[in-house]
Amino acid sequence: MTHRQKWEERLDDYQIDMNKLTLIHKSFINDSKTITKYLIREGQGRLPKIGCTIYFYMETRSSNGVLYNPQDGRKSQTKLILQRNEGNKAFELVLLTMRLDEEAWFRIEGELVNSLKYYNELPLNPDIDNNGIMWCKIRVIKIKHIVHPIFFDFKSFTEYLEEKNKLAKEYLELAKYNEELLDYVVEIYKSNVRELRETEKRIKITMCFPIDYDIHKKYLVNTYLNLAFVLLKQEIYGKAKEAAEEVLNIDRYNLKAKYRLFLACKHSEEDYEQAYNSLKYCLSKEPNNPSFTKYKEWLIEYEKECLAVKKEKMKVIDGVWLEDSKNAEVGPLWRECIEEERHQYISQPIC
């Protein structure tokens, strides 16, 4: 049985009671909460993005469950290119949350319904309750992903990056209601890093077009900072630490990178010292910044723990007969304490 035959079997009812639908996985997908998604079946693969072409079957009903277009709407396969078209804004928003073979109901209301080009072109049906609410059941059957372009000047390359950054910010806003979109934001920033690195390498080898290295560096730093930010939101601290360290490899005094490095490291006991040093640096530069000062207690507590450990080590040394050359414990402990004294002298704690 084909996709179309399976789909037509579900459209036998001219009108259904929307209140009796068994709807699960309720989630809002926009700030104004005028689009609600109810997942029927999960999809597979990666999410689409602006520029992709999506093929899908769609069943469209009014708030009282009547089909908008029972003649043509039952059998037509729909294709839409995601391109930020205001006339298709609602459909683009819902399709950006759907993977291949995914099926879901969407409840769309308010201005988004009234602005839909599709909605306005539908024939008038006297049975429809026109109260500004539309129900859509959508099943994605094919996604044609875009191929990354090759650029021949630096300006067009940076414009392309700006478009992707703008898209990432839009997804970041939508991720408040659908956390899965954070994965896509991470993918955008990772792909930007790859393209920045590869473009720099290609230019050095082929000299295909001139590059402004200061601007290139700025884009690379900002992309890694954004990547670290999103990874922290996902609580993937190891990868967030790596992204922050990449920034510091380029700009060793970057304050945002130091702060994000602290946030990543403070969740791992092995990285406490790195977290401590990063936070100290942030406080030394901006001692009144509330983002930094709220962690002062953590810093003081860590210093107390370090002091307690040091005192315990000194007790061990004091209790050992130092002239006993056969005692193998004394030397390493003594050297460790001397090193800690040196470290404390070089970088005094900020209180």
pLDDT in tens, 50-76: 778 888 888 888 777 777 765 554 555
- pLDDT over threshold 90, residue 260: yes
- Please check whether residue 351 lies inside any domain of the structure: no
Contacts of 70 (CB under 8 A, 6+ apart): 14, 125
Is there a contact between 42 and 180 (Cβ–Cβ < 8 Å)? no
Q: How confident is the model at residue 267 (pLDDT cuts 50, 70, 90)?
A: confident
* Residue 221 lies in domain: 154-294
* 75 within domain boundaries: yes
**Does 32 share its domain with 163?**
no
The pLDDT assigned to 350 comes to 38
- Which is nearest to 259 in space by CA: 272, 241, 273? 241
Whether 194 and 79 share a structural domain: no
Which pLDDT score is estimated for 7? 46
169 pLDDT band, cuts 50/70/90, is confident
Based on the domain organization, do 183 and 250 belong to the same domain?
yes
Residues 80 and 158 in one domain: no
Q: Measure Cα distances from 324 to 264, 327, 332 in Å.
A: 44, 6, 14
What's the confidence (pLDDT) of residue 4? 47
Percent of the chain with pLDDT over 90: 23
Over the chain, what is the mean pLDDT?
A: 76
Where residue 304 falls (left for φ over 0; alpha for ψ -120 to 50; beta otherwise) is alpha
Residues 72 and 169 placed together within one structural domain of the fold: no
| Of 100 and 87, more confident | 100
Q: What is the pLDDT of residue 246?
A: 95
Q: Report which residue type is found at 160.
A: Y
Domain C-terminal end among 144, 175, 198: 144
Residue 141 DSSP SS3? strand
User: What is the radius of gyration, based on Cα positions, of the chain?
Assistant: 29
Whether 175 and 243 map to the same domain: the answer is yes
Q: How confident is the model at residue 332 (pLDDT cuts 50, 70, 90)?
A: low
Whether the pLDDT of residue 315 is over 70: the answer is no
Alpha carbons 279 and 320: distance in angstroms, whole number: 37
pLDDT (average), residues 207-224: 85
Residue range 92-108, pLDDT digits in tens: 778 888 899 999 988 88
Q: Clarify whether residues 259 and 215 are in a common domain.
A: yes
What's the pLDDT at 52? 83
pLDDT reported for residue 167: 81
For residue 292, count other CB atoms closer than 10 A to its CB: 23
Query: What integer pLDDT is reported at residue 70 of this predicted model?
Result: 57
Lowest mean pLDDT among 176-185, 204-213, 319-328: 319-328
Query: What is the Cα–Cα distance from 159 to 249, expressed in whole angstroms?
Result: 25
If pLDDT is split at 50, 70 and 90, which confidence band does 158 have?
Answer: confident
Half-sphere exposure for 16 (CA within 13 Å, toward CB) = 18
Separation of alpha carbons 47 and 97, rounded Å: 7
Q: Which residue has the tokens 């473009």?
A: 199
Q: What is the DSSP letter of 51?
A: T
What does the pLDDT read at residue 346?
Answer: 39
Structural domains counted in the chain = 3
